[in-house]
Chain A
Amino acid sequence: MSDGLSRRSFLKLAATAGAAAAIPGCEPAARKIIPYVVPDENVIPGVPTFYATTCSECPAGCGLVARVREGRVIKLEGNPADPISQGSICARGQASLQGLYNPDRLGKPHKRAEDGSLQEIAWDQATKEFNDRLAAAAEAGKDRIAFIGASQGPTLDKVTALWLQAYGSARLAFWERIGEEPARAAADACFGRRDLPLYKLDQAETIISFGADFLETWGSPVEYTRQYADFRTPRMRKGGLTLGKAAYVSARLGSTGARCDEWVAANPGTEGAVAMAVLNVVVNQGWISRDSGVAADAVKNFAAAYDPHTVSEQSGVPVDTINKLGAWFGQADGAVALPGGDDPQTYIAAYILNAVTGNVGRTMVFLDGSPAEAVTRPDQVKTVIQAIRDGQVDVVVVAGGANPVYSMPPAWGFAAALKRVPFVAWMGDAPDETAAAAHLLLPVHHALESWRDTAPRAGVYGLGQPVMQPVFPSRALHDVLIESAHLGAGASAQSIPWENASDAVNAAWQDLQGKLAPDSTGQAFWDDARRKGGVFREAKPAAVKLGSAVLAQKLQPKAASSGPLTLAAFPHIFFYDGRGANKSWLQEIPEPVSQIVWDGWAEMHPDTAAQLGIKESYESTRLYAGIDVVQIDTPNGPIETAVHITSLVKPGVIAMPIGQGHSSYGRYAAGRGANLWAYLPEGTRSLGVQARKTEKRHQLVTPMGKGDMMGRSIIEAMSIGDLVKGVVPEVEGEPHLEGVPHEMYEPFKYTGHKWGMTVDVNSCTGCSACVAACYAENNIGVEGKDNVALGRIMSWIRVERFIPRADEESHGPLLYIAPIMCQQCDHAPCEPVCPVFASSHTSEGLNAQIYNRCIGTRFCENNCPYKVRRFNWYAPEWPEPLNLQLNPDVTVRGAGVMEKCTFCIQRITTAEINARTENRNLVDGEIIPACAQACPARAITFGDLNDPNSAVLKRRADNKLRNYTMLPENNALPQVTYLRTLYREKA
Chain B
Amino acid sequence: MSDGIALISTFSSDDECAQGIEALHRAHVHDFSAFAPFPSEKILEATSEARGQGRSPVRWWVLTGGITGILTAIALTVGTSYEWNLNVGGRPIASIPPYIIIMFELMILMGGLSGLLGFLFHSCLPAFDSAAGYRSRFGADKFGLVVRCAENEVSRLESLLRDAGAEDIAREAVITQGVPSHH
Contacts and interface: CB of A to CB of B under 8 A. Distances in A.
B91 to A, nearest CB: 5
A748 B88 contact: no
Contact of A831 (B84, B89, B92, B98): B89
B90 A837 contact: no
A965 to B, nearest CB: 15
Residue of B87, B90, B95 with highest tally of chain A CB at under 10 A? B90
Contacts of A840: 86-88
A832 to B, nearest CB: 4
A contact face: mostly helix, strand, loop, or mixed: loop
Nearest to A826: B90
Interface residues of A, number: 19
A843 B86 CA distance: 9
Interface in A958-976: 973
Contacts of A830: 89
Indicate the size class of the contact surface on chain B.
10 to 19
A745 B88 contact: no
A766 B95 CA distance: 42
A918 interface: no
A834 B88 CA distance: 9
A748 B87 contact: yes
A490 interface: no
B86 A827 contact: no
Nearest to B87: A841
Contact of A828 (B86, B90, B95, B98): B90
A865 to B, nearest CB: 12
A827 B90 CA distance: 5
B87 A832 contact: no
Interface in A816-853: 825-832, 834, 837, 839-841, 843
A837 B92 contact: no
A832 B88 contact: yes
B contact face: mostly helix, strand, loop, or mixed: loop
A745 B90 contact: yes
Interface string B78-96: 0000001011111110010
A832 B89 contact: yes
Nearest to A748: B87
B31 to A, nearest CB: 58
A746 interface: yes
A840 B89 CA distance: 7
B89 A827 contact: yes
B174 to A, nearest CB: 60
Nearest to B91: A832
Interface string B26-47: 0000000000000000000000
Nearest to A841: B87
Contact of A745 (B84, B86, B92): B92
B84 A837 contact: yes
Contacts of B92: 745-746
A564 interface: no
A747 interface: yes
A747 B86 CA distance: 14
Contacts of B88: 828, 831-832, 834, 837, 839-841
Interface string A780-814: 00000000000000000000000000000000000
A748 B90 contact: yes
Contacts of A834: 88
Contacts of A827: 89-90
B89 A841 contact: yes
A745 B97 CA distance: 12
Interface string A739-767: 00000011110000000000000000000
Contacts of A826: 90
B89 A837 contact: no
Contacts of A829: 89
B86 A837 contact: yes
A364 B91 CA distance: 58
Contacts of B91: 745, 831-832
A973 B90 contact: yes
Query: Across chains A and B, which 3 residue pairs bring their CB atoms closest together, nearest first?
Result: A831-B89, A831-B88, A841-B87
Interface of B: 84, 86-92, 95, 98
6 contacts: A830-B89, A831-B91, A832-B89, A832-B95, A839-B88, A843-B87
